Structure 1
Amino acid sequence: MEFDFGAVLMEWPLLLRGLGWTVGLTAVAVPLGLLAATLGAWARACGPRGLGNAVAVYVELLRNTPFIVQLFFIFFGLPSLGVKLSPATASVIAMTLNLGAYGTEILRAGIQATPKGQWEAAYSLAMGPVQTFVRVVLPPAFKRVWPAMTSQIIIVMLGTAVCGQISTEELSYATNLIHSRNFRAFEATFIAVALYLMLSIAVRHLLLWVGTRFLFGSAPVATARVPLKRRWLGARHG
């Protein structure tokens, strides 16, 4: 058996276009998904009971159904209700809703880990509930769960491979198209796997770096403090 990776690499414009679509879909869906997760986590942790129950239904529905079924419902099902979407738009909506559902539970865990004293301290400074949540509770909650949220973002990004089933021109769609042209299934799939792997590693490191550098900062180094009385006694005996 002879392998011919050159036949696949000759289609590099198609691979590059597919990779660009994968990155583009992720770049649009992730901020929207994080916003949905933030609102959902607030509703479940701090919001009115009725709203929290509605969000809980949304979370359970999305977390307990396959992503491809959600995508097909949006792209093939909604036109029956008069809502017709392009493949790219349907993909972004499906990715956003999926990340929002999983992100809600991830972020809610970070919010619930917030000490009650922080809430009370904010209220004692005459901060309102929304201001307390946004300025006091949310930043450390995101910092606690950012590694888990990063992993979920990677999963959603890799989920774009399913979006090729509705003709979204992402990387897996490009791979299948190349395979149909030259019948080099192994080579095309191998290159796609390598590209997905490199992209996942790069995005993971980028998100962790952005979180540390711009969003949360590095953790302060704990320093041991010697009580004043002990320092005075030490200086006296010295």
Structure 2
Amino acid sequence: MTYKLQFAELLPYWDVLLHGLIFTIVLTIVSTIGGIAVGTAGAAARTFGPKWLDPIVAAYVEIIRNTPFIVQLFFIFFGLPAAGVKLSETAAAFLAMVVNLGAYSTEIIRAGIEAVPKGHLEAAESLAMTRMQILRHVVLKQAFQKIYPALASQIIIVMLGSAVVSQISAEDLTYAANYIQSRNFRAFEVYLVVALLYLLLAIAARAVLRGIGRVIFPKA
């Protein structure tokens, strides 16, 4: 038995694929900004914040890093309504991605903060700088420069993991593939094309992140 490839049958659904592709890109961008913001706040809280805040942030990090992303997503989308918090598929997908990346980036950024030479901190303290001033003007840029490659890799991992949001009918690239194959039954062609699109997305995202890194952290 031979299987005849028929990619032409995907053409009527090009707009569905395009919509899924755009949704995935936007989801990645927004979750990256939100996740890094959460991670920066979490890392700062664990390093410079009050002692009572450290176990709270640590618990958040451990819970997220040691549970499957799909369970986190289902908890937000299916579990929170029981507590009176009902989110749309799109909002739940964005929130789950931000929470997930936030936990991982917290530890990545904290490692960068702890790698900043203590002499720099002592010099800043000798100038009577506040903790926030030290964090903003002395610590963060050095920390991000040290951990940028690891953070960029984590962003790519989270982007590829975003395929899970199709399970709650968020209209990403994987949702588009499921929709198309359920109508034309050309599963091989559909998922091959989508796999290639994810590959191209990952390559493009890595190139963009590398370019951003060269601009923000130029070599001396």
* Interval containing the TM-score (normalised by the shorter chain): over 0.9
Structure 1 ranges of 4+ moved more than 3 A = none
User: Counterpart in 1 of 2:18?
Assistant: 16
Unmatched runs of 5 consecutive residues or more in structure 2 = none
Give the superposed CA RMSD. Answer: 0.8
Instruction: Compare 49-58 and 120-129 and name the one that shifted more.
Output: 120-129
Q: For residues 112 and 10 of structure 1, what CA distance do their matches in structure 2 show?
A: 53
Q: Does 2:186 match 1:184? A: yes
Quote the residue 1:43 is aligned against.
45
1-structure distance, mates of 2:206, 2:104: 17
Deviates more, 1:4-13 or 1:157-166: 4-13
Deviation at 1:9, TM superposition (A): 3.2
Alpha-carbon offset, residue 5 of structure 1: 1.1
Question: In the alignment, which residue of structure 1 is the partner of 2:104?
Answer: 102
Residue 162 of structure 2 aligns with which residue?
160
Instruction: Give the number of equivalent residue pairs.
Output: 218
- Superposed displacement of residue 10, structure 1: 3.1
Per the normalisation by structure 2, the TM-score is: 0.97
Partner Cα distance (2:152, 2:9) in 1: 35
Q: Residues of 2 paired with 1:28 and 1:107: CA distance?
A: 19
Moved more, 7-16 or 101-110: 7-16
- Quote the offset at 1:123 in angstroms: 1.2
- Give 1:126 deviation, angstroms: 2.0
Q: Which runs of 5+ in 1 are unaligned?
A: 221-238
Find out whether 1:219 has 2:202 as its counterpart: no
Alpha-carbon offset, residue 111 of structure 1 = 0.7
- 1:212 & 1:131 partners in 2: Cα distance? 25
Task: Among all aligned residue pairs of Structure 1 and Structure 2, give the percentage whose two residues are the same amino acid.
Answer: 55
TM-score, length basis structure 1: 0.90
Residue equivalent to 1:124:
126
Counterpart selection for 1:79 from 78, 81, 87: 81
The CA distance in 2 between the partners of 1:148 and 1:19, in whole Å, is 25
